[in-house]
Homo-oligomer: A and B are copies of this chain.
Amino acid sequence: MSEPRSRAGGRGISFLNSAATTSNIFRPPEQFATWFAERKAANHFAVDEIAFADMDAWFFEEDSGDLVHCSGKYFRIEGLEVTTTFGDVNRWHQPIINQPEIGILGLLTRETDGVRYFLMQAKMEPGNPNLLQLSPTVQATRSNYTQVHQGRRPPYLDFFLHRERCSVLVDQLQTEQGGRFLRKRNRNMIIEIDAATDIDILDDFCWLTLYEIKQLLHCDNVVNMDARSVLSCIPLVDQESQAMYAGLRREDAHITPRQDEYAQQLVRSLVEVENAEHSLETLVSWFTELKTLYELRVERVPLKDLPRWSRDSHRIAHSSGAHFSVLAVSVEAGSREVSRWSQPLVADPCRGLIGFVLQQRRGLLHFLVQAKVEPGNIDVVEMAPTVSCANVRQRRQQGTTPPFLDVFLNATAEQLRYSSVQSEEGGRFFHFENRYMSVQIDAGETLDLPKNYAWMTLGQLLDLARHGYLNIETRSLLACAAMP
């Protein structure tokens, strides 16, 4: 086991330091946009919607009607019958992505001149609305990293497989969307290489500080889902680094007093465990009760027999027109060596909303967490943001909006702490965007909580994160909205 060399204190400080430093010795921050535009121009990538029949190597399996790849690899689109005691709808059928393997989402990091940097990749994915986004250093499937003799091994993968000369800062199993994937997890890793390690930086890669990444997370659709998931695992601050924070923060001339106050509240919510509204034991008890209470039964059903779902030449869709659909795309990529493939993607009819309600409680910033059952969950319930709602426009038309949605729809500028549009993993989702928000309500306001909601501090959320309690929407939103 490779042990971080300095354990106490140092880590948190160096992460915070990276979040507060406005310079970058590898490339000045103001040149990032030019570099990113160059990468977009340099990489040819064409995506077209096609008929299922025109897909290469994908076909509908005879008996089941499941959508599968002829190699038996990658993933399958199957059918599910879901029965649950959670929520208003207690039985339904839906397609689901089955990809029973653990991939690696890996981020390389190093310290240079006392500042921590992260190696990000400019990567195109067919489902990204803008094609190019920033991904972690490595996104590798299991076949990438177990088939030793395969030609196209992702660059830098060896740092994550052979960690003898590296320190492992983060290495956790984290889940994907339980509404779309059947029990899918990835290994989220942050690996530190020694400043002395000689490493070639390829054209599509660049070293960024946490400050730069944080700025980019305020833009729409720049930092991809996988990168957000890994970034959410960062052990941001510890007790020792808290005192340093105020001093560090001031390097940034652009910060407004309100932003600065919010950042200070976030740091306190990270480190001041003893003033939390609930103890960790109480939160575990609350979650235990809900796991006992809610039943979830998931049975595989042949895709062709899914009630109310039908398939035409171009879509697998629900008869109501609501809900997501499955479509096919062809992709042509690469400038010199051109590669072509086709694949299914999952598309949602309109934008979703993923949001945290925040409130100062006992003088400490708390996050309102929802325990949520989704069919692909490994263990019935996961912790979700206050609201995580697909297809908001449709839901409002139908009058079936989830609790607390109004807090976000009616939020004033004064209450708004974060707002951006982010897209979900472009390797599986087609132009699937969500509005990400965090809204801080007045300390005096009282919300009536259904039993599957609880207030937590940021420190408690990150404690629970490493054991796999938080769903991907929660982690993704925390990366965006809760980095001080």
Contacts and interface: CB of A to CB of B under 8 A. Distances in A.
A288 B187 contact: yes
A454 interface: yes
B172 A284 contact: yes
A171 interface: yes
A282 B467 contact: no
Contacts of A454: 1
A281 interface: yes
B466 A281 contact: yes
Interface in A1-44: 1-4, 7-8
Interface string A306-350: 000000000000000000000000000000000000000000000
Contacts of A129: none
Contacts of A1: 278, 282, 285-286, 454
A292 interface: yes
A291 interface: yes
Given A281-B235, A466-B281, A171 B4 contact: no
A359 to B, nearest CB: 16
B3 A282 contact: yes
A282 B4 CA distance: 8
Contact of A379 (B170, B187, B235, B378): B378
A112 interface: no
A466 B284 contact: yes
Contact of A172 (B4, B168, B170, B288): B288
Contact of A169 (B168, B281, B289, B378): B281
Interface in A272-308: 274, 278-282, 284-286, 288-289, 291-292
Contacts of A378: 379
Interface string A191-220: 000000000000000000000000000000
Copies in the complex: 2
A248 interface: no
Interface string A441-484: 00000000000001000000000001100000000000000000
A291 B173 contact: yes
A157 to B, nearest CB: 14
B467 A292 contact: no
A172 B172 CA distance: 21
Given A378-B379, A467-B467, A171 B7 contact: no
Contacts of A4: 279, 281-282
Contacts of A172: 284-285, 288
A102 interface: yes
Nearest to A469: B467
Given A288-B187, A378-B379, A3 B168 contact: no
Contacts of A466: 280-281, 284
A292 B161 CA distance: 12
A289 B171 contact: yes
Interface string A80-92: 0000000000000
B8 A171 contact: no
Nearest to A11: B281
A370 to B, nearest CB: 15
A297 to B, nearest CB: 9
Nearest to A466: B284
Contacts of A171: 281, 284-285, 288-289
Interface string A98-131: 0000100000000000000000000000000000
Contacts of A285: 1, 168, 170-172
Given A168-B282, A170-B285, 14 more contacts: A1-B286, A3-B279, A3-B282, A7-B274, A102-B292, A169-B281, A171-B284, A171-B285, A171-B289, A173-B288, A187-B288, A284-B467, A378-B379, A379-B379
14 contacts: A1-B285, A3-B278, A4-B281, A7-B279, A168-B281, A168-B282, A168-B285, A169-B281, A170-B281, A170-B285, A172-B288, A173-B288, A284-B466, A379-B379
